């Protein structure tokens, strides 16, 4: 298609924009979405919007300063709306105006990928627990957090600092007091929110004891827990299950039929063992195997696995949550039925790139660095890459 096929419809009116939440809703609804991503090739390959009904073309905006090239015209649809996106929303608006002047049906993503990274949604889990158990989802990075509320008290597991206000608002809406802000381990992909929640609500920050042994340097007080202990929230007990492997401190939390596995096992993969100490990855993989078989796979097959992350390769349940029954995972994920040596070789053979800025993020979560809110938000932009494979290990 040539530019001449499109009458010039340029006006003084600003090109239409779409909010990130609106775009995500279209994707979640299974609508056909066409995205023109005008970021650099490197940024696009590292992190992008995707989905089963999403078509994406990457064409850097700096190659569009003199107009829309013929080869790009050939990749753009005549009969579908085109959503242009960039990093912050400025370049995408300029490109969208060019396309609109060429006769295309077009909008641009408000605030770009930074806006996409601000999407945060929650969904209550269907469990046998006499409590509210909700899963928070960050679509841009696949980070998952959890709220457990019972009889006037609540705990948040694996909170993100960037969304502290969301948790505070939710506990107020529920009319409960936040008793604990808990991490499953020292995260390498996002800035933990346990200290900010403690400041905002008076909640007690909680870390696994082995995680704290990595020389935590917090200004404020915090508590530690070890495997076999419990945290009581209202009428429910949260069991502490130490599951090292991803890190030495990796700890799951079990409430009723739900196991919050952190990064020990996901619904589409298992943990990578190299983010705490790359030189010890093989030994950590062996530890991970022991944790899975002794602490996780020994549970009832009806146990609901609720991880701390999901990847682009994951498929949500019908209710929109990223959870799965343990028995289903055992059937679908060969890694869970391998013998130990085979498992270790499989896990260390082809691990994906490490999360962006993971060393700085770890240093922040240990209390050694103190980035401000905007710096912290920038550090964690991009995919989480905490699983052993970028592809699903499930059938």
The pTM for the full model equals 0.90
Which pLDDT does position 9 carry in this prediction?
A: 41
Which pLDDT does position 382 carry in this prediction?
A: 81
- 3-state DSSP assignment of residue 84: strand
Report the alpha-carbon distance of residue 301 to residue 287 in Å, rounded.
22
Catalytic residue among 33, 49, 86, 131: 86
Distances (CA, A) of 5 to 35, 70, 103, 104, 317: 21, 11, 8, 10, 44
Which pLDDT does position 354 carry in this prediction?
A: 80
Task: Mention every residue, 6+ apart, whose C-beta is less than 8 A from residue 316.
Answer: 310, 322
- 3-state DSSP assignment of residue 22: helix
Under 8 Å between Cβ of 324 and 346 = no
Q: What share of the chain is helix, strand, coil (3-state, %, to 5)?
A: 30, 25, 45
Which pLDDT does position 328 carry in this prediction?
A: 96
Confirm whether 86 is a catalytic residue.
yes
- 3-state DSSP assignment of residue 138: strand
Which pLDDT does position 1 carry in this prediction?
A: 32
Q: Per-residue pLDDT tens for 67-120?
A: 899 999 999 999 999 999 999 999 999 999 999 999 999 999 999 999 999 999
With a cut of 70, list the residues of the chain below it in pLDDT: 1-13, 395
Which pLDDT does position 12 carry in this prediction?
A: 53
Which pLDDT does position 11 carry in this prediction?
A: 45
Report the alpha-carbon distance of residue 7 to residue 102 in Å, rounded.
6
């Amino acid at each position: 298609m040539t530019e001449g096929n499109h009458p010039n419809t340029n006006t003084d009116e600003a090109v239409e924009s779409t909010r990130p939440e609106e775009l995500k809703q279209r994707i979640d609804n299974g609508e056909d979405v066409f995205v023109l991503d005008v970021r650099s090739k490197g940024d696009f390959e590292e992190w992008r919007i995707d989905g089963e009904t999403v078509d994406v073309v990457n064409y850097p905006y700096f190659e569009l300063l003199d107009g829309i090239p013929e080869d790009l015209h050939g990749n753009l649809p005549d009969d579908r709306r085109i959503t242009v996106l960039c990093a912050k929303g400025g370049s995408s608006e300029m490109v969208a105006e060019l396309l609109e002047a060429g006769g295309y049906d077009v909008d641009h993503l408000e605030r770009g990928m930074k806006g996409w990274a601000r999407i945060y949604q929650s969904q209550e889990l269907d469990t046998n627990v006499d409590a509210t158990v909700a899963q928070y989802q960050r679509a841009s990075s696949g980070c998952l957090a959890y709220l457990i509320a019972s009889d006037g008290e609540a705990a948040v597991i694996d909170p993100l600092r960037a969304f502290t206000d969301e948790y505070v608002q939710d506990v107020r809406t529920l009319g409960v007091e936040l008793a604990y802000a808990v991490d499953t381990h020292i995260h390498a992909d996002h800035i933990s929110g346990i200290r900010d929640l403690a400041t905002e609500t008076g909640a007690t920050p909680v870390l696994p004891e082995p995680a704290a042994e990595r020389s935590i340097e917090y200004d404020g007080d915090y508590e530690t827990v070890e495997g076999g202990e419990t945290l009581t929230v209202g009428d429910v007990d949260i069991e502490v299950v130490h599951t090292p492997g991803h890190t030495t401190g990796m700890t799951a939390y079990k409430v009723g039929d739900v196991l919050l596995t952190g990064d020990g096992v996901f619904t589409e993969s298992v943990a990578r063992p190299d983010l705490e100490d790359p030189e010890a990855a093989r030994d950590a993989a062996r530890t991970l195997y022991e944790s899975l078989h002794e602490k996780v796979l020994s549970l009832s097959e009806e146990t609901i696995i609720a991880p701390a992350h999901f990847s682009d390769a994951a498929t949500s349940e019908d209710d929109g949550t990223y959870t799965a029954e343990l028995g289903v995972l055992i059937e679908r994920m060969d890694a869970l039925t391998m013998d130990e040596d085979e498992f270790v070789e499989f896990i260390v053979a082809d691990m994906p790139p490490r999360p962006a800025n993971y060393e700085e993020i770890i240093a922040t979560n240990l209390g050694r660095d103190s980035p401000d809110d905007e710096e912290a938000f920038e550090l964690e932009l991009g995919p989480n890459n905490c699983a052993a494979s970028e592809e699903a290990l499930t059938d």
